Amino acid sequence: MAKVLTPNQVESYHRDGVLFPLPALNEQEVSHFRSCHDELDRRLGDRPTAQQKGDCHLHYKWACDLATHPNVLDAVEDIIGPNILIHSSTIFAKQAGDDMFVSWHQDSHYWGLSEARLVSAWIALTESTIDNGCLRVLPGTHTRKFEHLENPQTNNILGRGLTVSEVLDEDGAVDVLLKAGEMSFHHANVIHGSKPNSSKRPRIGCAIRYISTAVKQERFHYRVILARGRDDYRYYPVQERPTADIDEGLRLSDRRLRSPDQM
């Protein structure tokens, strides 16, 4: 029996590869996590890249608290089952007038999963709208794998510039509009991207990827955290949840900095 999602919502996700909006955080929680994020930005020099803010859940208690929020995990469980690993995470921040974008791509292209029981939760810490560069999705494209090429551009948030090489019908794109505190789910195979922020306000969100413990990955993967349930398979190196925000110098020297398209 589903915990929080209705049968229609679960069916919609599996049909379209995307589901939104879903409740995640209350107003006080948004304020708390936004404050933690902004403090991290200040510590990293005010305008850090997405690479610098990759996998913060491994190193910062507040980021792990966000990734293991019961409202989020209850909905994730309805999609991939009760045994859940935090596969990876990236904080995406587009400042006002930022020309950074994300090219059309499939997340699963990076990893080589034995099955696509991986769902990405995009949790909005600010309003996410068309003019500030919200996530965009091509519904239904999760049913097959698409060919990709690498086209690095300085304003592409994906470090290698991974882009679907096939001709796409962008007229069918859906803008994932969210209020602060809401979240969206998207499938590991669904094609998605985003446009630059043409507004006068920032767009900040955290993409957290959850995978069933039963799913293998062909490519090497960094550490994971058990968010809920049991891990009887041990396909990934598992670490304990962070109990504090570790020293910044230690964090940067202890991990392999990778672009979002390597996670």
Contact by Cβ (8 Å): 176, 195: no
Q: pLDDT band at residue 247, thresholds of 50, 70 and 90?
A: low
Closest C-alpha to 58, from 87, 93, 83, 35: 87
Closest C-alpha to 212, from 196, 200, 199, 228: 228
Q: pTM for the complete prediction?
A: 0.93
Strands (E), the chain: 18-23, 84-94, 102-105, 118-124, 135-138, 148-150, 162-164, 174-175, 182-187, 191-194, 203-212, 225-228
Q: 6: which residues sit within 8 A by CB, 6+ positions away?
A: none
Alpha-carbon span 28 to 32, nearest angstrom: 6
Is pLDDT at 261 greater than 80 in this prediction?
Answer: no
Contact by Cβ (8 Å): 149, 101: no
User: Which tens digits make up the pLDDT trace of 48-88?
Assistant: 878 888 899 999 999 999 999 999 999 999 999 999 999 99
Question: DSSP label at 131?
Answer: T
Q: What percent of the chain has pLDDT over 70?
A: 93
Q: Which structural domains are found in the chain, ordered by start?
A: 7-262 (2.60.120.620)
Question: DSSP label at 148?
Answer: E
Q: Return the higher-pLDDT residue of 130 and 1.
A: 130
Average pLDDT over residues 27-50: 91
Q: Return the higher-pLDDT residue of 225 and 44.
A: 225
Q: How many CB atoms lie within 10 A of CB 249?
A: 8
Average pLDDT over residues 190-194: 97
Is pLDDT at 215 greater than 80 in this prediction?
Answer: yes
Is pLDDT at 256 greater than 70 in this prediction?
Answer: no
| Helix, strand, coil in percent for the chain, rounding step 5 | 25, 30, 45
Question: DSSP label at 111?
Answer: T
Q: How many CB atoms lie within 10 A of CB 59?
A: 20
Q: Return the higher-pLDDT residue of 194 and 45.
A: 194
Model pLDDT, residue 260: 43
Please count the CA atoms within 13 angstroms of the CA of 259 that sit on its side-chain side: 13
Average pLDDT over residues 249-261: 43
Q: pLDDT band at residue 25, thresholds of 50, 70 and 90?
A: very high
Rounded to the nearest angstrom, the gap between the alpha carbon of residue 23 and the centroid of all alpha carbons in its chain is: 16
Is pLDDT at 259 greater than 50 in this prediction?
Answer: no
Mean pLDDT, the chain, whole residue set: 91
Q: pLDDT band at residue 257, thresholds of 50, 70 and 90?
A: very low
Q: Three-state SS for 113? A: strand
Is pLDDT at 252 greater than 80 in this prediction?
Answer: no
For 2, 12, 54, 190, the CA distances from 7, given in Å and listed in that order, are 8, 8, 33, 20
Is pLDDT at 211 greater than 70 in this prediction?
Answer: yes
Closest C-alpha to 91, from 26, 175, 33: 33
Model pLDDT, residue 126: 98
Q: Three-state SS for 149? A: strand
